[in-house]
């Protein structure tokens, strides 16, 4: 019998290994940085150490000393926003042995100087064509950024992203989408335990819970608070967060609502509170759709048609399908080039 112990050895599963990855995205000025700091401080406690990978020219340091967050560390990135530099920054933060990491923001890794889009543009300018334009930039993104996020030993990672309303074609016209999207790779949200957007009143609108019990940890329709972080810390340690009264979110006018058509899963107007069963069904369906996209567009279409009508009518599921179309198209293009 082999008694050798390693990280790859078979052992009982433990929730402590499921380190929370939280994705927050918003337009400028809606409070994603402060929300992330509150969540992190609640998670680590008054004496815990928070570090921010700060890419916003120092703006991420504006809240230092502000209560109830207090002090935190920063690891700036300036001028080089390549996946490789983000990977080095994550290594530096790991070496500092902190309790929570905030990346503010991850959008520069995608569309900043030397980011993924810039690397692809350089390849195109150098004469590369087809899949070769994107091949190495996407490898860099997965290897140096995404893999590091998923495998870091830091107990909590919060990924902040800038957001936009993309233009979309409706018949012969181009119109502004009503769905707010993070400025990052389409698949980054798949890796998050919880993700959502923040409106002008700093209220969080959750777009996905990986696990249904997280719906009472990081709450949809409420601002993120210190208490949100405390509940998350209890959950991450394997406990059950004590129930606390839900706040009534501040009223949001039509003008202030950054995405009137973007509702979290199973919380369409009139649908009532999300049910655990439906959230679990939708999470499983998203996994099947992602797997189907690896088989190309025809396979993705078939899997989509297998979903029940209530799920196909859900705005968040439609948005996930639209994002997966790009991956399916890449698979089909790669096959044609073989």
**Domain of 258: which CATH number?**
3.40.50
- The reply to whether 9 falls in a domain is no
Q: Are 48 and 26 a contacting pair, CB within 8 Å?
A: no
pTM above the 0.75 mark? no
189: its two tokens: 């949200």
Question: Which residues 6+ apart lie within 8 Å of 55 measured at CB?
Answer: 76, 77, 78, 81, 104, 105, 108, 112
- For 9-29, the pLDDT digits (tens) are 898 887 767 789 999 999 988
Give yes or no: residues 186 and 243 share one domain. yes
Q: What sections of the chain are H helices per DSSP? A: 32-44, 83-95, 107-111, 116-125, 131-140, 147-151, 226-236, 276-293, 297-306, 309-312, 315-337
* Number of domains the chain contains: 2
Give yes or no: residues 131 and 154 share one domain. yes
Q: 285, 288, 292, 293: which is closest to 309 by C-alpha? A: 285
- The reply to whether 150 falls in a domain is yes
Identify the domain boundary among 237, 262, 287: 262
Give yes or no: residues 251 and 276 share one domain. no
Q: Which residue has the higher pLDDT, 316 or 205?
A: 205
202: its two tokens: 């700093």
- Return the pLDDT at 206: 93
Give yes or no: residues 290 and 229 share one domain. no
Give yes or no: residues 131 and 208 share one domain. yes
- For 250-284, the pLDDT digits (tens) are 333 333 333 333 433 333 333 334 455 666 677 77
Cis peptide bond upstream of 105, omega within 30: yes
Give yes or no: residues 188 and 283 share one domain. no
Identify the domain boundary among 241, 262, 283: 262
Identify the domain boundary among 208, 228, 262: 262
Domain that holds residue 170: 15-262
């Amino acid at each position: 019998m082999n008694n050798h112990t390693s990280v790859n050895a078979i052992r009982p599963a433990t929730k402590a290994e499921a380190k929370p990855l939280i994705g927050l995205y918003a337009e400028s000025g809606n409070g994603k940085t402060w929300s992330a700091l509150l969540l992190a401080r609640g998670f680590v406690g008054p004496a815990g150490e928070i570090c921010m990978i700060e890419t916003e020219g120092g703006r991420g340091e504006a809240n230092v000393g502000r209560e109830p967050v207090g002090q935190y560390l920063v690891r700036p990135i300036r001028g080089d926003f390549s996946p490789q530099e983000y990977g080095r920054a994550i290594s530096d933060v790991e070496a500092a042995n902190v309790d929570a990491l905030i990346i503010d923001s991850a959008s520069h890794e995608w569309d900043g100087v030397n980011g993924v889009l810039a690397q692809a543009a350089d390849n195109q300018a150098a004469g590369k064509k087809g899949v070769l334009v994107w091949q190495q930039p996407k490898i860099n993104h997965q290897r140096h950024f995404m893999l590091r996020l998923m495998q870091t030993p830091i107990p909590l990672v919060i990924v902040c992203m800038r957001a936009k309303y993309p233009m979309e074609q409706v018949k012969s016209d181009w119109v502004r989408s009503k769905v707010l999207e993070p400025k990052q790779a389409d698949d980054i949200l798949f890796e998050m335990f919880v993700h959502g957007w923040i409106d002008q009143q700093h209220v969080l609108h959750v777009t996905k819970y990986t696990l249904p019990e997280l719906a009472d940890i990081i709450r949809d329709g409420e601002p993120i608070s210190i208490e949100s972080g405390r509940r998350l810390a209890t959950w991450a340690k394997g406990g059950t967060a004590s129930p606390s009264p839900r706040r009534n979110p501040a009223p949001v006018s039509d003008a202030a609502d950054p995405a009137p058509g973007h509702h979290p899963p199973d919380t369409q107007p009139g649908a009532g509170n999300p049910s655990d069963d439906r959230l679990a069904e939708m999470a499983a369906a998203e996994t099947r759709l992602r797997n189907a996209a690896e088989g190309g567009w025809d396979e993705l279409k078939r899997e989509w048609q297998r979903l029940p009508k209530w799920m196909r009518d859900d705005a968040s599921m439609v948005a996930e399908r639209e994002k997966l179309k790009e991956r399916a198209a890449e698979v089909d293009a790669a096959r044609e080039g073989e």
